[in-house]
Amino acid sequence: MNMDVKQKTIRLLIAESDDKMLAEMYAYLEQLGYDLDSASTGIAGWHQASGGGYDVIVIDVLLPGLDGLSLCRKLREEAGSDVPIIMLTDSSSMENRVLCLNWGADDFVTKPFVMLELEARIRALVRRSRAWQATRVLRWSGIVLDPQRHTALCLGQNLSLRPKVFSILARLMRSAPGVVSREELEHELYGDAPPESDSLRVHIHMLRRALANAGRPILTTVPHMGFRLEEWNENS
């Protein structure tokens, strides 16, 4: 297995309109254990990517409708996404590279490319992103979560969360105010081997109660979609 960051599966979205290229990427990456989704247009890519849950996104510049560069900038500026993005481009010119980076891309690969290089760049971005996520202090609506110290404070009060409940709160805070699906939370907790019992429901209940007791009842269930942390309104 070539995936040295694969303590848990890498979730990858590929926004690519070329069916042949998409099939080649699927054939290569699926055998390495990647969890893949795809979109053939910029608008479809926007709807999938803005929902969150991906470790990295690969976007072709030449998408129909909403082009790849516009999709990249829209994800950064409108969705506030910090998911690593790799652009697939037809040009290796300095102007093109600068344009990709200025519009929010983290890296780019010039077509035609070798799959080995693309996968190596994906792994490098995911490795850096996971290292950053593991150390970044998260803040949302009076909640401060420090992954390194494994502390979670709400209005200065220690929440004293169990490890799995702590992980759920961290995942929700990274996506707030976006929705995180049940499947994403189960993947966060259990990887590719979730338990048969509905233990997630128990952990969600514990987190909801802890936040409510600390004065921030902001964990909500979004029917048929998942869970999210709302912004706190002092008048609510």
Q: Which residues pair with 229 in a beta bridge?
A: 219
For 61-70, what is each residue's pLDDT tens digit? 999 989 999 9
What per-residue confidence (pLDDT) applies to 97? 74
**Higher-confidence position of 174 and 19:** 19
What per-residue confidence (pLDDT) applies to 168? 93
| Prediction pTM value | 0.64
- Domain final residue pick, 134, 157, 180: 134
For residues 73 and 89, state if they share a domain.
Answer: yes
What per-residue confidence (pLDDT) applies to 104? 87
Residue 80 CB-half CA count within 13 A: 5
- In this prediction, residue 1 has a pLDDT band, given cuts at 50, 70 and 90, of very low
Whether 209 is covered by a domain: the verdict is yes
For residues 99 and 175, state if they share a domain.
Answer: no
What per-residue confidence (pLDDT) applies to 93? 66
For residues 157 and 76, state if they share a domain.
Answer: no
Which CATH number covers residue 158? 1.10.10.10
What range defines the domain where residue 70 resides? 11-134
Q: Phi-psi region for residue 33, left (φ > 0), alpha (ψ -120 to 50) or beta? A: left
Number of neighbours of residue 206 by Cβ within 10 angstroms: 15
For 98-111, what is each residue's pLDDT tens digit? 778 887 889 989 88
Please count the structural domains in the chain.
2
